[in-house]
Amino acid sequence: MRMITLDQAAAETILSDLLKRDPNNYESYGDAVAKIVSDVKERRDEALFAYTRQFDGADLDETSIRVSKEEIAEARAEVDPELLRIMEKAMKNIRDYHQKQVRQSWFDSRPDGVLLGQKVTALESVGVYVPGGKAAYPSSVLMNIIPAEVAGVKNIVMVTPPGKDGKVNPVTLTAAYLAGVTQVYKAGGAQAVAALAFGTESVPRVDKIVGPGNIFVALAKKAVYGHVSIDSIAGPSEILVLADETANPRFVAADLLSQAEHDELASAILITTSPELAQRVSAEVDRFVKELSRKEILEKSLENFGYILVAQDMEQAICTANAIASEHLEIVTKNPFEVMTKIRNAGAIFIGEYSCEPLGDYFAGPNHVLPTNGTAKFFSPLGVDDFIKKSSVIYYSKEALEPVHRDIMAFAQAEQLTAHANSIRVRFEDTEGRD
Residue type (1 letter), 386: D
Q: Which of 328, 330, 353, 368 is catalytic?
A: 328
Strand partners, 121: 389
Contact status, residue 282 vs residue 252, Cβ threshold 8 Å:
no
Nearest to 373 by CA among 272, 232, 250: 232
Q: What are phi and psi of 67, to 5 degrees?
A: -70, 130
Q: Specify whether 276 is catalytic.
A: no
Q: Report how far residue 48's alpha carbon sits from residue 40's, in angstroms, rounded to the nearest whole number.
A: 6
Q: Is 303 a catalytic residue?
A: no
**Treating both helix axes as pointing N-terminal to C-terminal, what angle do 189-198 and 45-56 enclose, rounded to 10 degrees?**
160
CB-based contact 145:128 (threshold 8 Å): yes
| Torsion from C-alpha of 54, 59, 62, 65, nearest 10 degrees | -90
Number of neighbours of residue 432 by Cβ within 10 angstroms = 12
CB 243 within 8 A of CB 282: no
- The CA-based angle 318-319-322, given to 5 degrees, is 85
Kindly compute the dihedral angle of the four CA atoms of residues 87, 388, 152, 119, in this order, to the nearest 10 degrees. 150
The secondary structure of the chain in percent helix, strand, coil, rounded to multiples of 5, reads: 50, 15, 30
Residue 384 DSSP symbol: G
Closest alpha carbon to 161 in 38, 69, 57: 57
Tell me which of 261, 327, 353, 357 is the catalytic residue: 327
At residue 319, φ and ψ (nearest 5 deg) are: -60, -40
N-to-C CA span, the chain: 82
Q: Which of 197, 215, 119, 214 is nearest to 157 (CA)?
A: 197
- Residues marked active site are found at 327-328
